[in-house]
Structure 1
Amino acid sequence: MLGDPGAQADVIDFSPERGELRLYAGLSYACYASSATSPSTNATFAFSLVGTPFRVSPSRNRLTVVGCSALGLVVGTASGGGGDDDDLYATGCFTYCAELNAAGADGAPCAGAGCCQVPISPDIPYLGAAFRTGNWTNTAWRFNPCFYAMVAEDGWYSFRRRDLVGVLAYYNETVDAGRGVPVVIDWAVRDGWCPATAEERARRKYACVSGNSDCVNSSNGMGKL
């Protein structure tokens, strides 16, 4: 398990060689009962890795949005606090299909017809998946009542038209009946960089002190492996 009591995630596996671990997370949804009503929402994908050696991997995960007429977002902060505009991070993608048969075929790439995917930024210790709602109108609610947004391991999700159908059918299948969505987390010693020269290595104390070890700078925020 990883995380504070009450907000723990199941660890799937970990790799010291790659400096990463995989764990199960939730996914966020927005469901509509008509084109005009405000949706019922649940933001169950949220990560706070502030103060830990972990970051959500930008190279091994993607924001995935499933739905028609859906604008999904991943939002976060560099510090994990409420933050100001300088601290805020957000990106997202839009997916549209006028009818169920206009969505991509099962197994099709998530390129905007039923689902879409975008990369996430590195070195973000706090992030969550959400939707643009407010005055947003779901024109597809009769055949696609619920949208889903998740940060998931790249290549894990394979689109199926049936994921668009039914109230929370995909959510119940993925989270309630299973263990959730796999997410890849990077690990590093977060207190600085590797020594640049042999002289620095001799003068400074750092984590890799054995002659049988090597120091490699983290590619996801400050730190060393």
Structure 2
Amino acid sequence: MALNKVSMLIMQVMIGTIFIDVVFCSSRSIATPIRGCNSQSCGDLAIPFPFGLDKGCYREPPVLFQIHCLKSTPYLFNSSFEVKDISVLKGEVTIILPIAQDCYSENGTQLTNGTRDVTRSLNEFFSVSYNKNKFYSIGCDNSATITGSRRDKNYTTGCISSCSYADEIDLKSCSGVGCCRTSIPRELVNYGLKLGSNNNHRSVWSFNQCSYAFVMQETAFKFSSFQEFNNDSMFPVVLDWAVGFNSCQVAIENMTTDYACKENSVCVNSTSRPGYLCRCSEGYQGNPYLPNGCIGT
């Protein structure tokens, strides 16, 4: 009888150990959602943490991570910037921005204002991605400039495009004949566009009455004619984001509850702007900003 009691006690301990192991393994392998924030989405856009819709469902500050949902359309914080995509892995947000347009009558009278202050309400937490976007100028008699600020200093660049006949236009290569493009600098936090014309389009008006200027995600540029542009055109622009403004070394040395990288993740310095990003450790995948968000593969 005593032996049976000992055997039963051993069995209970073993079962308890197995139960503890199951619970422990489950806690490591299942991503824990933020309470009450299980299905954050707006329209067709899934919104991954640290971004979110409601207070408590996004990481502070709200001017970086809050998404405002209006009639099933997501906007970056409380702005007019419509969000098309969010990448936690790359530290990117793709938004839709307007173009600048400069149009003339047949006698050379300017019909539109060829300037546009595109990103006035953007803030220092976002930078226009210098390696994903290009500045474009479209038209046969135009010079275009982009002026912005980076590290509290102003920056201006631009390009000139021209052509004499409609059959010369080459938007595909965008090499200066009806289309030109140039790179933008790192950490550009806002920008404005300005268009000008040498001859007010008088010599090319029969096939090109307007010029256009815009920043656009380079891989999305797939145009063949001027007719594809108008004053209502909106194009995708990739923004870089990161957590805070400190490097990983500083963030880890001063580690508090504000440190963003959770279990089974590593901190990496942003290569495009100040701040850091989180990545799941090797052998794990998921969302490194969520508790237990990186799941073993």
Normalization by structure 1: what TM-score?
0.78
1:212 corresponds to which residue?
264
- Which amino acid is 1:109 matched to? S
**Structure with higher RCO (Cα < 8 A, 6+ apart):** 1
Separation in structure 1 between the aligned mates of residue 111 and residue 149 of structure 2, nearest angstrom? 25
* Residue number in structure 2 paired with 1:154: 218
Cα displacement (A) at 1:212: 1.7
Query: AA paired with 2:161?
Result: T
Residue of structure 2 in register with 1:88 after alignment: 154
Q: Distance in 1 between matches of 2:269 and 2:196?
A: 37
Which letter maps to 2:262? S
Does 1:37 find its partner at 2:109? yes
Please give the alpha-carbon distance, in whole angstroms, between the structure 2 residues aligned to 1:190 and 1:15.
Answer: 17
The within-5 A match list for 1:21-36 is 21-34=93-106, 36=108
Unpaired stretches in structure 1, ≥5 consecutive residues: 81-86
Question: Match for 2:168: what amino acid?
Answer: A
The CA distance in 2 between the partners of 1:140 and 1:128, in whole Å, is 26
Contact 1:29 1:42 in 2 (8 A): yes
Structure exhibiting the larger radius of gyration computed from Cα positions: 2
Q: Deviations over 1:5-39 (max 9, x none)?
A: 5x512111111001101111111100011464335
Alignment of 1:1-225 (within 5 A): 1-3=74-76, 7-34=79-106, 36-41=108-113, 43-44=115-116, 46-48=118-120, 51-78=123-150, 87-104=153-170, 108-132=172-196, 137-138=200-201, 139-161=203-225, 163=226, 170-171=229-230, 175=233, 180-195=234-249, 201=252, 203-205=253-255, 207-225=259-277
The CA RMSD measured in Å over matched residues stands at 2.6
Distance 1:144 1:209, change over 3 A: closer
Shift of 1:125: 0.9
Supply the distance in 1 between the matched residues of 2:180 and 2:98 (Cα, whole angstroms).
18
Is the 1:153–1:184 Cα contact (8 Å) retained in structure 2?
yes
Letter of the structure 2 residue corresponding to residue 37 of structure 1:
T
Do the aligned partners of 1:49 and 1:125 also contact (CA within 8 Å) in 2? no
| Shift in alpha-carbon separation, 1:141–1:28, aligned structure 2, 3 A | same
**Conserved in 2, the CA contact under 8 Å of 1:27 and 1:43?**
no
Aligned-residue offset at 1:44:
4.6
Q: How many residues align?
A: 201
- Cα shift readout 1:94-148 (whole Å, capped 9, x = no counterpart): 11110111212xx621111111111111111111222135x76433223201011
Higher helix fraction (1 or 2):
2
CA contact (8 A) 1:50 1:79 kept: no
Contact 1:110–1:159, Cα closer than 8 Å, also in 2: no
1:27–1:45 contact (8 Å) kept in structure 2: no
CA distance in 2, matches of 1:205, 1:121: 32
Residue 123 of structure 1 aligns to a residue whose secondary structure is coil
Q: Measure, in 1, the Cα distance between the counterparts of 2:261 and 2:81.
A: 32
Where does structure 2 lack aligned partners over 5 or more consecutive residues? Answer: 1-73, 278-297
Distance 1:153 1:57, change over 3 A: same
The amino acid of 1:100's aligned partner reads A
CA offset digits 1:64-86 (Å, max 9, x no partner)? 11110111111112267xxxxxx
